[in-house]
Amino acid sequence: MSSKTKNTATKEEAKPALVPKLRFPEFRGASAWEPATLGEKSSILKGKGISKADLDPLGPQACIRYGELYTRYGETISLAVSRTKVPASELFLSKPDDVIIPSSGETKIDIAKASCVLAGGIALGGDLNVIRSKLNGTFLSYYLNGPKRQDIAKVAQGDTVVHLYPHQLEALHIAVPSPAEQQKIAECLSSVDELMAAQARKVDALKTHKKGLMQQLFPREGETQPHLRFPEFKNAGEWEEQKLEDLAKRGSGHTPNKAKQEYYNGGIKWVSLADSKRLDNGLISETAIVISEQGIKNSSAVLHTAGSVILSRDAGVGKSAVMSESMAVSQHFIVWTCEKHRLSNWFLYYILQIKKPVFESVASGSTIKTIGLPFFKELRIIVPPVPEQQHIATCLSSLDALITAETQKHEALKTHKKGLMQQLFPSPEQRTT
């Protein structure tokens, strides 16, 4: 065997052929994907600086700045959101199917964010790596954002500011199928993204509808009747302003001694600051921490009944929820147990949601803003009779249930896409035998 043949064999052994777990029927008998480095399949170029001062919404030149990759774009860019007044002759312009990745960012995983610029002639700003190749750009963008994202993050350098250089991208190992298979994968994942975008728009539309409906169903500042009432309540008269403490029993909470292990892990759900993300979603049914009966007995903690309404008075100030079962809370929360013949708990929940901007404005403090108890003792709300309260609460609860269901569909599509990407692209373990 000649020296040249040996070198070729060694190179092939170093780059084993790969196949994905899932292939479309027309490609199941096709050749394995060709191993290569990104540098062997592309040229890595750099964009040219476009400062914030250079942006002009009426400017003649469409442009993309690196920060927009984190906030405005997905795997593909069909329309640039920014424009500039800088002449095209002074800029770096895209060619169709260019793939761009930031060259600087805050974290290593964030910087590993690729987008394919579908059109030519778009100005690409500084701090952008531009991958120009004959590969299908949409395919490459999905590939880099999926199985290759962690590999890109590993080679990024820096702590406070992270950098990604062309030579690091050039050394990235990839595997490439035929142009036809690239196109099929790109079309498949693009169609899933289109479904996700449509579902996200549906969720946003429902949220906008709810916001507008709440503005109509509750009286505005200084008014005593809402602009929209259900038919059976149109002649029911004005709503009455009352002190909340006259309609519901106010309570608070406490943190059992954390040094006493026996005060914790006893099965009693305890709402704490760790549950901030669980609030503002209607019911709260799970808590990050549970305490014990001993924890209740040996502290000022109180077990509040199911259906009680809670509100955060400091961190996450103004967030609220309804308890799905009996729970205790930390001192960071106010709890109201409604007198059912005077105040619907769900109506109160929606009242608190409307008043959230008020709570945020009255909170004071430097490190953590807090609302003092005197504010809640004097808190007044405007209410109709209980039947109308319940009707409003039922209407909004039904809308919330619909928003939740549509949000879950969106999350399911995201999970489906993630699973597809794991199957449609090969990993180093998926070698042909």
DSSP string, 300-351: S---BPTT-EEEESSTTTT-EEEESS-BEE-TTEEEEEE-TTT--HHHHHHH
**Model pLDDT, residue 315:** 79
The kind and range of the H/E element at 7 are helix 3-14
Please give the CATH topology (third level) of the domain spanning 34-176: Adenine-n6-DNA-methyltransferase TaqI; Chain A, domain 2 (3.90.220)
Q: Decide: residue 52, CB within 10 A, 0-12 exposed, 13-18 middle, 19+ buried.
A: exposed
What are the CA-CA distances from residue 412 to residues 58, 188, 190, 371, 408 (Å)? 39, 16, 16, 38, 6
Cβ neighbour number for residue 57 with a 10 Å cutoff:
9
Distance between CA atoms of 392 and 219, rounded to whole angstroms?
Answer: 12
**Model pLDDT, residue 429:** 53
Domain parsing of the chain, residue ranges: 34-176, 179-234+386-433, 240-383
Assess whether pLDDT exceeds 90 at residue 354.
yes
Distance between CA atoms of 125 and 366, rounded to whole angstroms?
Answer: 38
Tokens of residue 49, six digits: 């600086």
Distance between CA atoms of 142 and 116, rounded to whole angstroms?
Answer: 9
User: What percent of the chain clears pLDDT 70, i.e. is strictly above it?
Assistant: 95
**Model pLDDT, residue 70:** 86
Give strand pairing partners of 93. 123
Nearest alpha carbon to residue 251 among 350, 326, 158:
326
Instruction: Give, as one character, the DSSP assignment of residue 113.
Output: -
Asked if 34-176 and 179-234+386-433 have one fold, the answer is no
Span 209-230, average pLDDT: 93
pLDDT tens track for 100-155: 999 988 888 888 899 999 999 999 998 999 999 999 999 999 999 998 999 998 88
Tokens of residue 113, six digits: 């964010």
Assess whether pLDDT exceeds 70 at residue 208.
yes
Tokens of residue 372, six digits: 């003092």
Span 258-274, average pLDDT: 92
**Model pLDDT, residue 1:** 47
Which is more confident, 134 or 17?
Answer: 134
Span 423-428, average pLDDT: 85
Superfamily of domain 240-383, CATH level 4? DNA methylase specificity domains (3.90.220.20)
Q: What angle do CA 329, 333, 336 make, to 5 degrees?
A: 85
Q: Does the CA dihedral 199-200-201-206 come out positive or negative?
A: positive
Span 276-296, average pLDDT: 92
Distance between CA atoms of 371 and 133, rounded to whole angstroms?
Answer: 58
Q: Are strands 320-323 and 283-284 parallel, antiparallel or unpaired?
A: parallel
End-to-end Cα spacing for the chain = 24
Tokens of residue 119, six digits: 């059109």
Q: Does the CA dihedral 295-296-301-305 come out positive or negative?
A: positive
Confidence of residue 156 (pLDDT cuts 50, 70, 90): confident
Looking up tokens 């761009």 gives 100
Q: Are 155 and 171 in contact (CB under 8 A)?
A: yes
Instruction: Give, as one character, the DSSP assignment of residue 305.
Output: P
DSSP assignment of 196-233 equals HHHHHHHHHHHHHHHHHHHHHHSPPTT-SS-S---GGG
Q: Which of 13-17, 236-240, 339-343, 402-406 has the lowest mean pLDDT?
A: 13-17
Q: Does the CA dihedral 158-65-166-151 come out positive or negative?
A: positive
Assess whether pLDDT exceeds 70 at residue 9.
no
Span 194-216, average pLDDT: 96
Confidence of residue 6 (pLDDT cuts 50, 70, 90): very low
Q: Are 62 and 180 in contact (CB under 8 A)?
A: no
Cα-to-chain-centroid distance, residue 327: 28
Superfamily of domain 179-234+386-433, CATH level 4? Bipartite methylase S protein (1.10.287.1120)
Assess whether pLDDT exceeds 50 at residue 174.
yes
Overall size of the chain counted in residues: 433
Assess whether pLDDT exceeds 70 at residue 382.
yes
pLDDT tens track for 43-96: 999 999 898 999 999 999 999 998 898 888 999 999 999 999 999 999 999 999
Confidence of residue 8 (pLDDT cuts 50, 70, 90): very low
**Model pLDDT, residue 258:** 92
Nearest alpha carbon to residue 249 among 322, 323, 304, 319:
304
